[in-house]
Amino acid sequence: MEQLLLLLIFLPLVGAIVTAFSGKAAKYVALVSAMVSLSLTFIVIGNFSPDATTQFIVNYPWIQVLGISFHAGIDGISIITILLTNALIPLIIVAAYKHDYKNSHGFFALILFMQSGLLLVFTALDAFLFYIGWEAALIPIYFICAIWGGKDRIKVNMKFFVYTIAGSLFMLIGIIYLFLQNPAHNFDIQAFYNLNLDRSQQGWIFWAFFVAFAIKMPIFPFHTWQPSTYTQAPAAGTMLLSGIMLKMGIYGVIRWLLPIVPIGVQEWGHFAIILSVIGIIYASIIAFMQKDAKRLVAYSSIAHVGLISAGIFALNTQGMQGAMVQMLSHGINVIGLFFVLDIISSRLKTNRISDLGGIAKQAPKLAIVFLIIILGTVALPGTNGFIGEFLLLIGVYQYNLWFAVFAGLTIIFGAVYMLRMYQNVMLGETNKLTSGFTDIKGTEQVVLYIICALIIIIGVYPKPVLHLSEAAVQQLIDQVTQKLTSVN
């Protein structure tokens, strides 16, 4: 079974190399590679026991003089992020078919290269290996945005790069310090979990890791790179950033921050929730004011991720399970939103809300799928967004009533600005610009119909997703609670 995990991690890398030399056939080669990875994911899930153990473990000495191993495995937490990554990558590749990118072989190869880095992040059980995956996932998205982005891509991309590199540096310092405190002199995750660090040590390590993860998500006030980057990135780049890459930060908090420095979390987690709730309210208010639909969705993402962050730091089972489901649901919904806006932008050369209107009359199929995606985003009961946000709010409520009240504003505010955007873009009378709008067809229909099906299926029957992560989440909460009880 260990070969299955190695294949899962490195197949996209092999696919990237083949795609890079495939010329005009690159997009088809990339899709085949992504579909094989998705098939492997289903094989892994079929052979996965939904308990608290880590499975499909690989552990090979790598740089022995430094105690670095290629140590990876899958548990109930990582399997959700693997499913998220390998289910969304094929959709993102197909969504990119409608664009005639220059040097498309490089474009699609970079997507697969990023997929391999993401899978390494989500399976690494060695801190140095985790860091390698973290950086490996950043390199391709930087070039995707820098080469195929909008007119201000260089300036915007530099800000994104500086932010993420600065966060990575903080995390690297924390990892090196933990290595020096480890009597075994290795980077093994379990050895880091077992370290006996005092309150002061845990406090500063908390911030070293939290800053890195908060930038990636992003959480207020580490979010300022995000709206412009999402706007200037090509459509596929925006989907990769919002649908999958930000989940690296969420996963990092769950896998590395909480179990390693529980006292640091106890001391500073309250402040982290405050930042998350501020981000929810701030991003929602800014979203109300946006005139560009793509920037509106970007700020909406900050608000939704703020709720996920608050649920995680509430340190209870409901909040953590809500985060697991919402990671998957948010990824599905947000790439659906950005793809619809990309379709509109491709036809009309604008995402400015005031320039649009009446598109539903010209494109009823697009109007229906767009509405389903928006309803999932605003957490209508029966959609995927409801399950995650309901559990997250219960988790935050158990932590603090008033935090739950303010965090719940994301649902109210989100419903207002998302439905208002839909009304202004899709309803009303057509104008000179929108009167010739054509409905979705071909690959556009394939991607959007799949997304709508997932929104409804997960919303109606979330049990399989919850069942996969339940035991691992409970073990994590118990582990952190026991550490805090033994100290107090």
Q: Is residue 448 part of a domain?
A: yes
- Residue 360 domain flag: yes
Query: What angle do helix axes 409-426 and 293-313 make, rounded to 10 degrees?
Result: 160
Crossing angle for the helix pair 364-377 and 409-426, to the nearest 10 degrees: 170
- For the chain, what is the domain count? 1
pLDDT band at 161 (very low <50, low <70, confident <90, very high): confident
* pLDDT band with cut points at 50, 70 and 90 for residue 154: confident
Q: Across residues 119-129, what is the average pLDDT? A: 94
Q: Encoding tokens for residue 322?
A: 């809500």
Show the CA angle centred on residue 354, arms to residues 342 and 418, nearest 5°.
Answer: 65
Residue 354 lies in a domain: yes
Q: What are phi and psi of 381, to 5 degrees?
A: -55, 135
Is residue 151 assigned to a domain?
A: no
Q: Does residue 453 belong to any structural domain of this protein?
A: yes
Strands (E), 257-319: none
**Cβ neighbours around 162 below 10 Å, total:** 11
pLDDT tens digits for range 264-323? 988 898 999 999 999 999 999 998 888 889 899 999 988 899 999 999 999 899 999 999
Other CB atoms closer than 10 Å to residue 152's CB: what's the count? 11
| Dihedral Cα 330, 336, 337, 340, nearest 10 deg | 180
Beta bridge partners of 59: 71
Query: What mean pLDDT value characterizes the chain?
Result: 90
Q: What is the CA radius of gyration of the chain?
A: 21
CA gap 137, 139 in Å, rounded: 6
Please state the pTM of the whole predicted model: 0.92
Give dist(CA 290, CA 349) in Å, integer.
18
Q: Which domain holds residue 368?
A: 267-488
- Phi and psi of 273, rounded to 5°? -65, -40
Angle between helical axes of 262-288 and 199-216 (0-180°, round to 10): 30
DSSP code for 70: E
Separation CA 382–CA 253 (nearest Å): 29
Q: What is the pLDDT of residues 351-384, one digit of tens each?
A: 888 888 889 888 999 999 999 999 999 989 999 9
Q: And the tokens for 268?
A: 């500073």
In the structure, how many helices (H) and strands (E) does the chain have? 22, 2
Structure tokens at 249: 């930060």
Q: CA angle 251-266-250, nearest 5°?
A: 10
Is position 436 within any domain?
A: yes
Amino acid at 174: G
Residue 232 lies in a domain: no
Residue 481: pLDDT above 90? Answer: no
Packing angle of the helix pair 78-95, 317-348 (nearest 10 deg): 10
Q: Are 215 and 270 in contact (CB under 8 A)?
A: no
pLDDT digits 0-9 by tens, 16-55: 999 999 888 889 999 999 999 999 999 999 999 888 888 9
pLDDT at 487: 65
The least confident of 194-198, 295-299, 393-397 is 194-198
Cis bond before residue 221 (omega within 30° of 0):
yes
Residue of 143, 294, 311, 136 whose CA lies nearest to 217: 311
The Cα–Cα gap between 413 and 247 comes to: 23
Nearest of 93, 100, 106, 97 to residue 22 by alpha carbon:
106
For tokens 């999932």, name the residue. 376
Question: Strand, coil or helix: what is 318?
Answer: helix
DSSP of 182-218: -TT-S-BHHHHHT----HHHHHHHHHHHHHHHHHHTT
Kindly state whether residue 322 falls inside one of the protein's structural domains.
yes
Contact 210, 218 (CB under 8 A): no
